[in-house]
Structure 1
């Protein structure tokens, strides 16, 4: 029997939830009725009434990074509003896992400074057999600890390349490729905690919520960051992590506990988790209705199903517009990754895509993790050059020349044209 793909499962999940909402069996905390009706128009009942609005980006808050606690030296990060993007070249030589001081930061508001000794996780909702359950940090550490290497990547990673490379304007933070990091996460399995709390056979959705301040967008209070997961995913491979790379989580990366959802878009990996609702009815939030869907001419009016798996990418560990010496051998290095299957092949072009050579891979193909690759290159001519890296994964995907446009600039996956100057 052929196994159903994750994207197909997600579409089926979304369609089923729409039907349940129409039957009065779903909740949509913080989502306007108008917005939810737009999302639900895929059921065929409401489509003539509304069209989906574009995303509303929160206003920029100056050139610093308000709310981020760790140092953000210019040689390591590019500050983008309340966020900090890792300069990809600083990953060279750092190993498989990104050091915490170089890990990108994606904040909707600001980093809270929480005391682990006073922290508690409340698990509650109609999908439990009994009443709410509460777990302190020592309770969480009493469960069997698991370690998992996994990437966290913002769904908008590469967003700036829609305009820069494809000439298409999109909304949101204009990341290049540095809104991604690899961690060695340690914590309790969410499945174990849910079972200890008494998850019932009627549960369908699990929604973690952060303890960061409420997000206000265009004057509208969206509440704290939260996004539902299907129960099947919650019970599969999700961690409640309290360590990153063998150390307690830093404040900016979720201290004391965060959710880690391997292979899925970063918004699913809620930081500073404070409560988890387990529901026997479908759940919606602004983070799977207004945002984290694909809107645009190639998508239905209500948008795509909520984003789940990350896409396929490859990047050079080289500054943008790097200066390289002619007739000198350079070792080009980089990383490639996929949310669906491991990367098992990387090709590099040093002439703008006319010819391709296989790069050497330094890691085995693993889902939700990147591989490091390298290729020697001796340029014989001076001038401007575009370097290209193209990844293939074990799910059969290959990076395309262009990414299909969507208004919010999610899931950029095209081969990136990396400019350098040879002199």
Structure 2
């Protein structure tokens, strides 16, 4: 069995003294300057992204864990593809995976609950779940193998309709009920479109917290679809389900059907690269931020006075759009707002606080 040190070194990381760890469920250090820790999860502080470029450094990339980061042995790891939807079940090693034609994609991974806290703080509504602001997102360049290629090599049947990826992290137990390993089905149409089985992140092996040795990357969809520590893919000629599409990740509330609406694609959002409740000096400043949407970002508007909007200047495009806008900061309390086309001022309530896509009101004090 490979040691913990061996796993970390294989993923391009070094061991740090135990006192550097900020959360026992997460391997990498979580300095308070970069993260807000929520139990088994770590939210990126937006001010920590200023000046980092379009790709989120691995050291600053948010972490969403249901349990704890597993330390897996790359030498014994296998990806198994089976089920009634394939004619030739496969068992692939990491070496097998890397021997196949690779593709790269720049894409954001974003938790479905990103922005959840604003249901309460902005709309006065009670919701359940981790109280993220907007830091449950990161943008990376992922390299791996097209899931469509793997399914075709496994002899995908024309009658296949559903793919169920499952992770290798510990079983998730809640309320005394064991729900098993994290898994969530994808329709075959999406699986064949742009989904990646990734083994690299920003040009290096996936770190343990982000899915080592391989994970799914499902562009445009909520983060739960991008299963980390991928171990198996069940392909079926009938619909597959798990608690992560029947009980969780559904929009349930007064504006939705009785059984709720399945959460799939994300919604557009915008954020300033500023600390929450930041204090800044008066004078001419340049505000910077990022906006993203599964449908692309055409333009970004910013309001610094609560009444008027002006267009921000794009700095770079990719998985998200980086932008800037000048601001003559005058002493006093201010509320900054940024939006992409279609961002509303309020969104319908759903009890689990998914897909908060309203314009966020960011408080700043100028001194």
TM-score range, shorter chain: over 0.9
Decide which of 135, 138, 157 is 2:114's aligned counterpart. Answer: 157
CA distance in 2, matches of 1:66, 1:296: 35
- Corresponding residue for residue 7 of structure 2: none
1:329 and 2:284 are equivalent in the alignment: yes
- Please state how far the C-alpha of 1:377 moved relative to its aligned partner: 0.6
Runs of 4+ deviating beyond 2 Å: none
CA distance in 2, matches of 1:66, 1:109: 10
Does the 8 Å CA contact 1:122/1:133 hold for their aligned counterparts? yes
CA distance in 2, matches of 1:404, 1:143: 45
- Corresponding residue for residue 333 of structure 2: 384
1:111 and 2:64 are equivalent in the alignment: no
1:277 and 2:234 are equivalent in the alignment: yes
C-alpha deviations, 1:155-181, integer Å up to 9, x for none? 000001111111111000000000000
Helix, strand or coil at the partner of 2:323? strand
C-alpha deviations, 1:300-339, integer Å up to 9, x for none? 11001x211110100000001111122x111100000001
Does the 8 Å CA contact 1:185/1:244 hold for their aligned counterparts? yes
- Corresponding residue for residue 409 of structure 1: 353
C-alpha deviations, 1:233-281, integer Å up to 9, x for none? 0011100000000000000000000000000000000000001000011
- Please state how far the C-alpha of 1:143 moved relative to its aligned partner: 1.0
CA distance in 2, matches of 1:325, 1:213: 48
- Corresponding residue for residue 263 of structure 2: 307
Helix, strand or coil at the partner of 2:81? strand
C-alpha deviations, 1:15-70, integer Å up to 9, x for none? xxxxxxxxxxxxxxxxxxxxxxxxxxxxxxxxxxxxxxxxxxxxxxxxx6331000
Helix, strand or coil at the partner of 1:267? helix
- Corresponding residue for residue 214 of structure 1: 171
- Corresponding residue for residue 145 of structure 2: 188
Decide which of 238, 250, 265 is 1:293's aligned counterpart. Answer: 250
- Corresponding residue for residue 374 of structure 1: 324
TM-score norm. by structure 2 comes to 0.93
Helix, strand or coil at the partner of 1:283? coil
- 1:50-61 correspondence to structure 2 within 5 Å: none
- Please state how far the C-alpha of 1:363 moved relative to its aligned partner: 2.4
- Corresponding residue for residue 276 of structure 2: 320
* RMSD between superposed Cα atoms in Å: 1.1
Helix, strand or coil at the partner of 1:188? strand
- Corresponding residue for residue 259 of structure 1: 216
- Corresponding residue for residue 45 of structure 1: none
CA distance in 2, matches of 1:89, 1:370: 16
- Corresponding residue for residue 223 of structure 1: 180
- Corresponding residue for residue 161 of structure 2: 204
Does the 8 Å CA contact 1:254/1:272 hold for their aligned counterparts? yes
- Corresponding residue for residue 93 of structure 1: 51
TM-score norm. by structure 1 comes to 0.81
Gaps of 5+ in 1: 1-63, 393-397
CA distance in 2, matches of 1:230, 1:333: 37
**What is the aligned residue count?**
347
- Corresponding residue for residue 338 of structure 1: 293
Does the 8 Å CA contact 1:66/1:81 hold for their aligned counterparts? no
1:359 and 2:315 are equivalent in the alignment: no
- Please state how far the C-alpha of 1:202 moved relative to its aligned partner: 1.2
Does the 8 Å CA contact 1:143/1:192 hold for their aligned counterparts? no
CA distance in 2, matches of 1:379, 1:75: 25
- Corresponding residue for residue 16 of structure 2: none
C-alpha deviations, 1:105-154, integer Å up to 9, x for none? 00000000011111110111011124x31000111111101000000000
CA distance in 1, matches of 2:315, 2:334: 26
CA distance in 1, matches of 2:172, 2:287: 41
CA distance in 2, matches of 1:274, 1:379: 52
